[in-house]
Amino acid sequence: MRRVMISLALLTALQTAFAYNDHRGFNLDSLERAVAVWTPDKMDKATQTELIALNRSYRDLMLGWQNLNADKCQFYARKALSISLPRHWEQANADAYRYIGQIFYAREQYDSALFYYGKALESVERMAAGATSPLSPDGYSQKDLDDSFSMLYGTIGNLQNMKGNIPEAMDYYAKAGEIFDRNGWNESNTVLWYNIGETWMDEGDLKKARQAYDKAVGYAKTSADSLMLIFAYKGLGRLYMEKGETGKALKYLRDVNAYYTVHPDDSPVFRRENLEFIDNVLSRQKRQLGWMLGASVFIILLLSALLYIALKLRKTTQEKAEAAQLIEEVLEEIPAQKADIKLSEREKEILDLLSKGYTAADIGKALGLSHETIRWYRKKLIAKFDVANTVELIAISKEMGLI
């Protein structure tokens, strides 16, 4: 479902301006009884003054029932049209068509709503062209016309938006924006650009959405209306949420929540949606932290494995070099009598340390060789001197003056 706000904001303004106010003190039921006496025959004989009053009563009933009973609202709007339409009272026609369109809009019957809003726009265009009525014999002020045009442009833009006709929606939004700019209606422009930002968000164009929200922020700051700024911030919060920039999203969404904490009765639907956004962002942050932790553990394990492999390779390389050296020494050896025994420098080192009481492990540490390599050297020396053990090896080596 697309998020549309501008029509609601402007309709609220219009409803405030034309709110039901029966100066006779009648309630809706009593006013219905009062107009029920006007039969077709009686209306045919009515004076213009009486018809103006009756039309006004029908419009009062239309406005009075709009939030209570849509069918009755539409019924009295059509009754008002039965008087104003044949007499070309265009302002009354525009009001009635607008409210019928509103009913279809609320029912999501967008084609029907577009038809009646279009009829309302035609009436306003005739007002701009010079049409008058008994209540406005001198015509209409530019402000009245701008009010009507901008509301209809915005609402028709929303209807095209809901139908997925984005280029047409943007054309009507642009017309509304021109009127807002001309009159310095910054609050209306804030809502308009917020709505455009939401449209581009729904379309997946985050770049255009960001541009629209930034314009909404600019108009909101110019208006100095904190609620307008909150609309724009909520849009930016949603934008950054969609982009995955949770830190920025929370900054704007928490500013919005702080406003609603102080003004809990303002825009409850907006506040509820904002809280849902905050919950969504916090859930995303939790998932992101989980992914980061998992990735960190994986990287640590991977580095540990690589370090272990490197050490093993280094040890294997060292042992391979030691083995090659031993093999070379064995191949080069020529059997000889004990008196002619020749020792390599490594054998001399090991024999010297053995004579000093060093163990194979101690000699390995001292010479940087493995324990197994030292044991192999010791066995080799025992065999070379043809002795039974290390004690005899040391004793003979001393006798020969080798140590």
Segment 251-282, tens digit of pLDDT: 999 998 888 888 877 777 777 888 888 888 78
CB 67 within 8 A of CB 116: no
- CA 354 to CA 349: how far, in whole Å? 9
Segment 32-65, tens digit of pLDDT: 999 999 998 999 999 999 999 999 999 999 999 9
Here the tokens at position 304 are 């540990």
Give this prediction's pTM. Answer: 0.64
Is pLDDT at 122 greater than 60 in this prediction? Answer: yes
Q: What are phi and psi of 336, to 5 degrees?
A: -150, 165
Rounded to whole angstroms, what are the CA distances from 375 to 8, 351, 358? 93, 12, 12
Is pLDDT at 390 greater than 70 in this prediction? Answer: yes
3-state secondary structure of 370: coil
Range(s) within the chain of domains with CATH label 1.25.40.10: 6-267
Q: Pick 6-267's CATH classification: 1.25.40.10, 3.40.190.10, 1.10.8.350, 1.10.1740.10.
A: 1.25.40.10
Range(s) within the chain of domains with CATH label 1.10.10.10: 333-399
- CA 59 to CA 25: how far, in whole Å? 16
In terms of average pLDDT, the best of 2-6, 7-11, 94-98 is 94-98
Which band of pLDDT confidence, cut at 50, 70 and 90, is reported for residue 372?
confident
pLDDT of residue 320: 67
Here the tokens at position 324 are 């090659």
Yes or no: is domain 333-399 CATH 3.40.50.150?
no
Q: State the residue for tokens 């004579």.
A: 355
CA torsion, ordered 297, 250, 283, 274, to nearest 10 deg: -170
Which band of pLDDT confidence, cut at 50, 70 and 90, is reported for residue 195?
very high
Give the burial class of 251: count Cβ atoms within 10 A of its Cβ; 0-12 exposed, 13-18 middle, 19 or more buried. Answer: middle
